[in-house]
Structure 1
């Protein structure tokens, strides 16, 4: 993203998105536990605005396979570049964190690893198995990359029997060239469709952001696409600019519009719509477990 692209004055953050940081010792405890087990979280790496709230509730979304991504999506704060080898004991460390935090629902996501033959699918599966072994009563949600369209990689993850398989569509198709240049909208929809076909009892989930340059008609059409592939859970939240190097927010969508997205999704047959300005893909994910 060039400096000229972000030369205009940023929009003022509206009151409904301003966050009061909590004063809770649990935040430090969660942060310390993650550091102690040498784990990454998407809460920290992606500068999630809900980090303070979630860490203060002993909740974290684990980011596996390193902190460096092989892609460079314009909206994302995770560092792109040269990746590191996988750590064989990472699944056990994720499971131990889930045990110590007394989680009832575990969300595991990753950087995209196009450098790996299976995109990291086997590592995802190992994490699911490890969590099941250590905290058997816990539900597990995996938020996976597209695996470059590989059905065998998707099968590997599904064979580990996660309760929820999440793959984010992120934005409307017209913005993919600018926002997700290394991804493919049709491929992401196909992954969700294929997951439901291969494993009908696993709930599928996807999420997107608004405020990147789309309009509400674009959002409604994208919700329709997710309904067409029988997506069970859809999250929609406001894009927030992580730094001046990222695309500017094109609009702050008022809260009532998110209610309209929810109504549109339900009308199209999506069972669970979770839409609000501060919603992120894994925010309050346990509500749908």
Structure 2
């Protein structure tokens, strides 16, 4: 897997975000490709992806991503990206080109995308959706009270608006939250209720793990029993599929979540 990624000059969120499931997923021959480079313009305090000013846009990246998906033989490909707020369209045109390239090279492969918020610009989101991904994921990450602390350049309301638009355009929608970063029980319940009211289909809940001493500290360790309870709560709210557990991440077992 390392050789395949390196040969195609690609990046994976598995490595860049220090995912705890890298060994399990890579041993199965699957990885989550991260497009638009490896440098993010945002400085979320939970994320290990490097922050800075990216250099240009690689327009050959969509082709290489499509070739990597073919080489891995994926039936369900998950694509994500860094935030590129310095670009006029936030990278939406590269997103669309990548989805089309993967589809053309791998017509039988389902495509799940984990997208940024494009600063709330509706036309940028519609450009991505016009490429027809199969599942659209955008993570809320945490409860409203902690948004500015956890992801200072994002907005909770903006994320909800994006998920609502995804559903209005007729796409399956997915989102996720980290637990154990300082939220309270009633805040989790309220946030899940708000998200469910939008018609979001798939939910992931996982334990926040501190990537380094420069990131936010862990507030508490959430027990497997609590994760199970939140799964049942979310299903009762109307989510159609809920993946909930300590090591769950956005793309963990994504191929099993297809509705």
**Coarse TM-score class (shorter-chain normalised):** over 0.9
**What is residue 272 of structure 1 aligned with on the other side?**
241
Alpha-carbon RMSD across the aligned residues, in angstroms, is: 0.7
Q: TM-score, normalised by structure 1?
A: 0.88
Counterpart check, 1:155 vs 2:126: yes
**What is residue 15 of structure 2 aligned with on the other side?**
44
Give the SS at the match of 1:234.
Answer: strand
**What is residue 27 of structure 2 aligned with on the other side?**
56
Q: Deviations over 1:12-70 (max 9, x none)?
A: xxxxxxxxxxxxxxxxxx11100111000000000000011111111100000011111
Q: Deviations over 1:132-176 (max 9, x none)?
A: 111100000110000000110110011111000000001111001
The Cα of 1:195 is off from its aligned counterpart by: 1.2
Cα distance in 2, alignment partners of residues 116 and 251 from structure 1: 37
Unpaired segments of 5 or more residues in structure 1? 1-29
Cα distance in 2, alignment partners of residues 177 and 288 from structure 1: 30
**What is residue 196 of structure 2 aligned with on the other side?**
227
The Cα of 1:235 is off from its aligned counterpart by: 0.3
**What is residue 85 of structure 1 aligned with on the other side?**
56
Q: TM-score, normalised by structure 2?
A: 0.98
**What is residue 217 of structure 1 aligned with on the other side?**
186
Where do 4+ consecutive residues of structure 1 move more than 3 Å? Answer: none
Cα distance in 1, alignment partners of residues 59 and 101 from structure 2: 12
Counterpart check, 1:122 vs 2:114: no
Of residues 200, 206, 212 in structure 2, which corresponds to 1:237?
206
Cα distance in 1, alignment partners of residues 137 and 55 from structure 2: 24
Look at both structures and tell me which one has the larger radius of gyration over its CA atoms. Answer: 1
Give the SS at the match of 1:259.
Answer: helix
| 1:1-289 correspondence runs (5 A) | 30-197=1-168, 199-200=169-170, 202-289=171-258
Cα distance in 2, alignment partners of residues 191 and 237 from structure 1: 22
Q: Deviations over 1:83-107 (max 9, x none)?
A: 1111111001001000000000111
The Cα of 1:218 is off from its aligned counterpart by: 1.3
Give the SS at the match of 2:136.
Answer: strand
